Structure 1
Amino acid sequence: MDTVLIPTSPELTESDIQLLSGYAKQLGKARSLPRKAVRSGQNLSKKKGHGIELQEVRPYVASDEVRHMDWRVTARTGTPHTRVYTEDMEHRTCIICNLSKDAYFGTQTTFISSRLVQIAALIGWRHYQLRNPLGMITSVGHDAEVIPTITNWQAWSEHLASLTQIINRPYGKASFSMPNQLKLKGTNVLILSDQLEIDDINRARLARLAQHNRVHWVSLEDTNTFLIPDGVYQFNSQDTTQQISQANRDIAQQRYLEQESHHQKLLSSIGITKLTFSVNDSPVSLVKTLLSMGVVH
């Protein structure tokens, strides 16, 4: 059994998180996208370069450098072509991981909470291996924990594993929140969250964040959620039960679709792209998709 796709338990351990470092080495190359301009006056932050990378091969124009001519393509096509390079800059990323109580649920492979943490772990290990700086902000109902730049990767592994513990479920909130005055500029921000509600205060904070950074929101859904058979259900850690019937399934699904549509429009209005995937997809394939889209580096 693939224990990455279907973990032995949705409550991941530190070993589960560290195991993903090996998979992070196999993720491949990310797609290069232009960096979002930082609208902060005339002072542009300096970024450390790692070298140069090939962006494209295109027809030669008079302003191009002759030393970058691609003679092989020129010979094959019969027209001069040149290679265009871009500086491979230091890729600074910040992951914001917020979970509601509904994230601690899944019907087939694992919980949404566990899969989101696996995605965070794979991206984190990739940054560790490429020596790119990574920050992280996490919240499961309690005050947000902010790590500007991860340096203690063992403690980070322990923290990620702790987010998947079912004991967190009662504290998960439906509404997204983030710390005020985040000093992020020119950063690739990835929000991993199942939350669908955003109040006016946090909407304004997200809008400010999107002004100075490239922000994507990644969420997961379980398509089987609204196909659960009729019956009475109970979480092992709780005394209360939940009655499931066709009527309340229909009501829940309609409410979810309305919230999802509103959430998508709200994020789009402030310049944030939302991407939704299936929780039953492999976390490795999900991160590869994000790499191919240029969402992560």
Structure 2
Amino acid sequence: MPAVPVRADGDGRARVSLAELIALRARVGRVRPQPLNSRALAAGQRSSRLYGRGMDYAESRVYQPGDDVRRLDWRLTARSGELHTKLFQEEREGRLLVLLDTHASMRFGTRVRFKSVQAARAAAIAGWYAVRAGERVGAMAFGSCRQLLKPQGGPRGAVALCGALSEWDGAARAVEAAEPLSEALARGGRLHGANRVLLISDGMSCDDAARGRLRELTRHASVAVLVVADALELALPPPGRYPLEHAGRRREVSLLGMRQRTEFQRALGAGQARLGALAQGLGLRWRSIDTVADPLEAITALLGARQAR
């Protein structure tokens, strides 16, 4: 396991916990990922395996079921005690790009944890899952924090992702900036090399132009969407008075009548409803989870094998 920088860790509820993100590796380790061939992009949908004699050696990675045993890297296998496969210059491993929403609306939660923390947990699981399947993983933060982590392979790539998620969580709290989803997708679309994209958001930044940007992105990559929502955004709240805190100020919202509760839920859940409808309308893989759920099942469903269209 690569060394991880020492920093103040979050509580896993209102702040992302780096230790928890790294520990999720064990959870993903119990799941058997679909073996992935090295990919040569063809409209983001087809994959091919290119190898033979006379090609330049590029690097080695952990052996994946289905790899040609004639290409085992015996020296690295002997040093590490774990089977490794040689990759050559012509081969292109799959690359997963996680687009992570860091808007202020993500820093909200009434059950267990904030949406921002749940989003980071889902992104980390996606990273561990991808590298186990032989892919490289990178990430782009949009919204309050706008940073890029270039794709890396193996455990080092997943650890780098976890570190970035922790850092971005802290950086996003210092800035209250809005970025329409369409602009974030345009930035993501300019990042060449990723043949799979996972968008994680609560949908509050979803604008009308996002439909065209998402459709354009699907021409170059396979796109999946994970909508993260709070319980209050998914169902009518029970009658009562609800204390809410924002920017250090506490207020009480009275939700006693049916009309009040309905309007509150509709306004609060507008983002996740809009993004979910958009993903479904475009025929994308998508799932919705709340802040209590285990993201593992949703991530494996989104990133699992799918027959090319």
Aligned length: 251
| Aligned position for 1:98 | 101
The reply to whether residue 193 of structure 1 matches residue 198 of structure 2 is: no
Q: Determine which of 270, 274, 292 is the counterpart of 2:286.
A: 274
Deviant stretches of 4+, over 6 Å: 49-52
Contact 2:41 2:195 in 1 (8 A): no
CA distance in 1, matches of 2:13, 2:280: 35
In the TM superposition, residue 198 of structure 1 has moved relative to its aligned partner by 3.0
Contact 2:64 2:133 in 1 (8 A): no
| Aligned position for 1:230 | 240
Percent identity over the alignment? 15
In the TM superposition, residue 218 of structure 1 has moved relative to its aligned partner by 0.7
**Alignment root-mean-square deviation, CA:** 4.0
| Aligned position for 1:79 | none
In the TM superposition, residue 91 of structure 1 has moved relative to its aligned partner by 2.8
> What whole-Å deviation, never above 9, does each CA across 1:89-148 have from its counterpart, x for those lacking one?
843211111133232222222222111111111221233344421121112324x21223
CA distance in 1, matches of 2:47, 2:296: 33
- Letter of the 2:218 counterpart: A
TM-score, normalization by structure 2: 0.64
Please give the secondary structure, in 2, of the residue aligned with 1:95: strand
| Aligned position for 2:17 | 13
| Aligned position for 1:126 | 129
Which runs of 5 or more residues in structure 1 are unaligned? 1-6, 54-88
TM-score, normalization by structure 1: 0.66
Q: Which is higher, the Rg of structure 1 or of structure 2?
A: 1
In the TM superposition, residue 185 of structure 1 has moved relative to its aligned partner by 5.9
Q: Determine which of 124, 148, 151 is the counterpart of 2:150.
A: 148
- Letter of the 1:140 counterpart: G
- Letter of the 1:30 counterpart: Q
Q: Determine which of 261, 265, 282 is the counterpart of 1:253.
A: 265
Please give the secondary structure, in 1, of the residue aligned with 2:245: coil
Using CA pairs below 8 Å that are at least 6 residues apart, which structure has the higher relative contact order?
1
In the TM superposition, residue 271 of structure 1 has moved relative to its aligned partner by 4.6
Please give the secondary structure, in 2, of the residue aligned with 1:275: strand
- Letter of the 1:120 counterpart: A
Q: Determine which of 213, 217, 222 is the counterpart of 1:209.
A: 217
Q: Determine which of 134, 159, 162 is the counterpart of 2:164.
A: 159
| Aligned position for 1:220 | 228
The reply to whether residue 287 of structure 1 matches residue 299 of structure 2 is: yes
| Aligned position for 1:86 | none
In the TM superposition, residue 251 of structure 1 has moved relative to its aligned partner by 0.8
Counterparts of residues 83-94 of structure 1 (less than 5 Å): 90-94=93-97
Please give the secondary structure, in 2, of the residue aligned with 1:241: strand
Please give the secondary structure, in 2, of the residue aligned with 1:171: coil
CA distance in 1, matches of 2:270, 2:95: 35
Which runs of 5 or more residues in structure 2 are unaligned? 1-10, 52-62, 67-91
| Aligned position for 1:114 | 117
CA distance in 1, matches of 2:194, 2:202: 25
* Residues 111/258 of structure 1: CA separation in 2 closer, same or farther (3 Å cut): closer
